[in-house]
Amino acid sequence: MQKFYEKTLKSSHIFKGIVFDVKKDDVELSTGEKTIREVVNHPGGVVILALKDENTILLVKQYRYPLKLVSLELPAGKLDRVENPDLAAKREFEEETGFVAKKWDKLGIAYSSPGFCDETLHFYLARDLEYKKHSPDDGEIIEYFEYNLGKVFDMINSGEINDAKTICAIMRAGLKGFIKLP
């Protein structure tokens, strides 16, 4: 018997929302024990690390209601339920910053909270930028800023930047050689 396996016995949707749904699953563990899993179904998201030049990236500031604070992070957004992540990255980047990019590279994926949520984040690197027009979504108050990479690393280290998707995307870009990690 496979040690790391859980069999779904029964699944029921308990919440259907605008951004995500929640289901409750009765499962059987590989040991035969039965338990319950609550799962947030999320369509996923995109995160864009935009290099203005080799030492300057774009970050956005916005109020994050669940945390009741202003967050400094990379441009990012939720996928529509059947949206292609490559297209969503370009759409979200332009909406949030007003820029378009001529060069795009995929940096990989990450699971935001796999203990209870199926959200997959798709990371991208955007380069060769051109400003067009800033057009945030309705209900979204967001502003972009340009930061030196050294300053960004300092803000991550000091705890001024705590957004996990931002930290993860920067690390991926560094490990792939697109930016120089400290």
Domain segments of the chain: what residues? 6-41, 45-175
Rounded CA gap, 117 and 153, in Å?
A: 28
Structure tokens at 142: 């967001």
* pLDDT, tens digit (0-9, with 9 covering 90-100), for 105-142: 999 999 999 999 999 999 999 999 999 987 777 778 99
Q: What pLDDT, on the 0 to 100 scale, is given for residue 136?
A: 72
Give the residue-averaged pLDDT of 32-50: 97
- List, edge to edge, every strand of the sheet that includes 6-16: 6-16, 21-29, 34-41
Long-range contacts of 153-160 (CB under 8 A, 24+ apart): 153/181, 153/182, 155/72, 160/72
Largest Cα separation within the chain, whole Å, is 58
The band of 38, judged by pLDDT with boundaries at 50, 70 and 90, is very high
Residue 1, pLDDT above cutoff 60: no
CATH of region 45-175: 3.90.79.10
Give the residue-averaged pLDDT of 11-25: 96
Report the percent of the chain where pLDDT is more than 70: 99
Structure tokens at 54: 């080799």
Query: Tokens 């990450």 — which residue?
Result: 110
Rounded CA gap, 144 and 152, in Å?
A: 14
Q: What pLDDT, on the 0 to 100 scale, is given for residue 140?
A: 80
Q: What pLDDT, on the 0 to 100 scale, is given for residue 133?
A: 83
Give the residue-averaged pLDDT of 163-169: 98
Q: What pLDDT, on the 0 to 100 scale, is given for residue 87?
A: 97
Residue 101, pLDDT above cutoff 60: yes
Q: Measure the CA angle with vertex 168, ends 148 and 61; round to 5°.
A: 55
For 56, other C-beta atoms within 10 Å of its C-beta total: 15
Q: Are strands 45-53 and 120-131 parallel, antiparallel or unpaired?
A: parallel
For 73, other C-beta atoms within 10 Å of its C-beta total: 19
Rounded CA gap, 151 and 158, in Å?
A: 10
* pLDDT, tens digit (0-9, with 9 covering 90-100), for 56-78: 999 999 999 999 999 999 999 99
Rounded CA gap, 1 and 126, in Å?
A: 45
Rounded CA gap, 94 and 132, in Å?
A: 8
The pLDDT mean for the chain works out to: 95
DSSP 12: E
